Structure 1
Amino acid sequence: MGKGGQGTQNGISKVKDFSMDDVKHHDKRDDKWLVIQGEVYNITDWARRHPGGSKVISHYAGQDATDAFRAFHNDLSFVKKYLKPIHIGSLREETKETEVERDFRELRATAEKMNLFKPNALFFVLHLGHILLLEYMAYAVMAYFGTGWIPYILSLVFYSTVQAQVGWLQHDFGHLSVFHISKWDHLLHHITIGFIKGASPQWWNHMHYQHHAKPNVMNKDPDVRVEELFVVGKVMPVQIAKERKKSMPYNWQHRYFFLIGPPLLFPVYFQYMLFRHIFTRKAWWDLLSVSLFFVKFFYLYIPMLGIGSTIIYYFIMRCLESHWFTWVSQSNHIPMDIEEDSAKPWLALQLHATCNVEQSFFNDWFTGHLNFQIEHHLFPTMPRHNLHKMSALVRSVCEKHNIPYKIKPLGTAFADIVRTLKHSGELWYSTYNAFHSP
């Protein structure tokens, strides 16, 4: 395996060169190598100290992580200093980038030349401003007009909109796409997702970075780790059926989705998971920012509504926000390919797992520009107001390599969630009966 020795690291001989086949064997829990720009790194120990979390980097063990590495990091000179101690060799000369990889990297270089990674400060100031205005209106409408049905409903609409829109804004800070200076993005991420939204920044990073690293990849993307309640795609239903798993009547999932999916994702599942993460990971700064959200919320609303009614108001608001988030986020992914990891190149990986929604002023605002999900997944640190400028360029590269580039009307994208769940449920049902019928 490789030629020549240059000392040892963790008992592994440093060598001058490896083949990609050599690297592929090192994808175990206690033995992880990966490739970045033709260089081989042993991340076995480093993964536990990785600032983005151990799982997101470990998902590329045994694979080429060049484009994933570039997608997640803004300051390459800063990050590369952490690579030196874990560098163990290089790929051999015959291991070259493919044409699709070369074209994608040229596409990124074009985006950089066009200054599309440069944020527009005014855009984010105005966006934060309209969120703060809506939050004030949610409180003021009941403070000034009482708690009758009309001001109560208006307040709920305003506050649910605040939560949905700050969800898109914290997403920008979480991806370091606003300041491109980590400490400032992290600070605003804490303020927006913690103090304004009442969620854990660390928990969001842990879940969302994995999703971006391996979207729709079974056992790696937490967003499709849903087999306790749903089966998605074409592979998972067959696997679950063959394993005799019948925890839910999956053939009815396109119907019970309306009862336990959009309504309960935020007020039940996310509430439980974020606090579980905070206490198991001892994320005390996250606990502080989340606690400040609840102190603010109950201080403002209990005097008007009372304790019980304030809790009901909170639950209804979370249900409305949950509908908004679930329909938008799942419309881009659930109808797409959901498979085991096959180490696809970055462009193909993201395009097979994501689709776009048509552009309009309303769609841009309503989805937080995630109607350009394809471009966002390819370039997660690109400010969202520039994503549309990449659409035609990305589509041309996809056409060249015969990679599907899908774009839909908003209503069609929502309907496809239900159609896909129905198809996956029927696939599970037919497979289950074929394998386990008397």
Structure 2
Amino acid sequence: MGLMKANHVFFLLYLLHILLLDVAAWLTLLVFGTSFMPFLLCAVLLSAVQAQAGWLQHDFGHLSVFSTSTWNHLLHHFVIGHLKGAPASWWNHMHFQHHAKPNCFRKDPDINMHPFFFALGKILSVELGKQKKKYMPYNHQHKYFFLIGPPALLPLYFQWYIFYFVIQRKKWVDLAWMITFYVRISLTYVPLLGVKGFLGLFFVVRFLESNWFVWVTQMNHIPMHIDHDRNRDWVSTQLQATCNVHKSAFNDWFSGHLNFQIEHHLFPTMPRHNYHKVAPLVQSLCAKHGIEYQSKPLLSAFADIVQ
């Protein structure tokens, strides 16, 4: 069926649409000035650039675009380092652990907010209750999630931690790629906005991107089963921790095809444009073996995060 073969035209066009959005953001300020509305439109366009570049670096990071790892690694550095200002080694370190043991406490770094910020999963939450440990007012976590989750993750945590990571681990190649990002955006926007205006734009973009990133990345896992590692088989481990969001042109674009999270977790190196093709086969496999396959509307997936 050729489901592991990438369509290079798809990924080229995807990269071009990111670059066009980047240019459009700059032209917005250049042509219409730096008043509030052009500034806001520029910030929205740049947040789309950052979010979409995040989905594209994910493709290269999973070695799902080129047949050789060398080209995947090179483009991964370019997209995550030069277009986003983040280190490839940090992403690999965190993300591969997540794929190996999704929603497994102390093994999946994506749920490290338990128990210091949130009580996640029925089993782990009951354990906290029995131990009489309470780091936060968990009965209100569905409210304060909106304050310390989506808006804060990138601008208040990732933004400084990624520099700590590369310096502490001496990842100088990653640091060099990251510096090219900051040099580029500074040369692009400081002449138009000044230093203060540029810093304001930068953090507004990170704020918008953070909201986009957190809602999309959490909708497939946080509502699912969270527990200690029970050493179950590969398929069961992935399916109990993962759900899908229904396919649509918008959902595919908005989530970078991570609405097909089940297929992605079962076949991490499969090019994303083939997820919808393998999905019926995965559904048949799950039905045959009595494994639940969940797919839901986008807004329902968002709501399930805070329920």
Q: CA deviation at 1:277?
A: 1.0
Q: What's the CA shift string for 1:229-263, capped at 9, x where partnerless?
A: 11111122122233332221111111000011000
Which residue matches 2:301? 413
Moved over 3 A (4+): none
Q: CA deviation at 1:323?
A: 0.7
Q: What's the CA shift string for 1:106-156, capped at 9, x where partnerless?
A: xxxxxxxx1100000000000000000000111111012110122111101
Distance 1:405 1:133 in 2: 37
Letter in 1 for 2:24: M
Distance 1:398 1:204 in 2: 30
1:281-300 alignment to 2 at 5 Å? Answer: 281-300=169-188
1:159-178 alignment to 2 at 5 Å? Answer: 159-178=46-65
Q: CA deviation at 1:228?
A: 1.3
Matched, 1:245 2:102: no
Once the two structures are aligned, what percentage of the paired residues are identical?
57
1:147-158 alignment to 2 at 5 Å? Answer: 147-158=34-45
Distance 1:170 1:151 in 2: 28
Matched, 1:360 2:239: no
Letter in 1 for 2:275: L
Matched, 1:197 2:96: no
Task: Name which one, 1 or 2, has greater alpha-carbon Rg.
Answer: 1
Q: Which has the higher contact order (CA 8 A, sep 6+)?
A: 2
Which residue matches 1:129? 16
Q: What's the CA shift string for 1:45-64, capped at 9, x where partnerless?
A: xxxxxxxxxxxxxxxxxxxx
Matched, 1:119 2:14: no
Which residue matches 1:258? 146
TM-score (norm 1): 0.69
Which residue matches 1:85? none
Which residue matches 2:283? 395
Distance 1:117 1:320 in 2: 33
Letter in 2 for 1:159: L
Q: What's the CA shift string for 1:27-57, capped at 9, x where partnerless?
A: xxxxxxxxxxxxxxxxxxxxxxxxxxxxxxx
Which residue matches 1:180? 67
Q: What's the CA shift string for 1:348-382, capped at 9, x where partnerless?
A: 11000000000011111011000100000000000
Which residue matches 1:213? 100
1:7-156 alignment to 2 at 5 Å? Answer: 114-156=1-43
Which residue matches 2:159? 271
Larger helix fraction of residues = 2
SS at match of 1:306: helix
Unaligned runs of 5+ in 1: 1-113, 420-438
Q: CA deviation at 1:306?
A: 1.3
Distance 2:28 2:174 in 1: 30
Q: CA deviation at 1:410?
A: 0.3
Larger strand fraction of residues = 1
Unaligned runs of 5+ in 2: none
Distance 1:350 1:195 in 2: 32
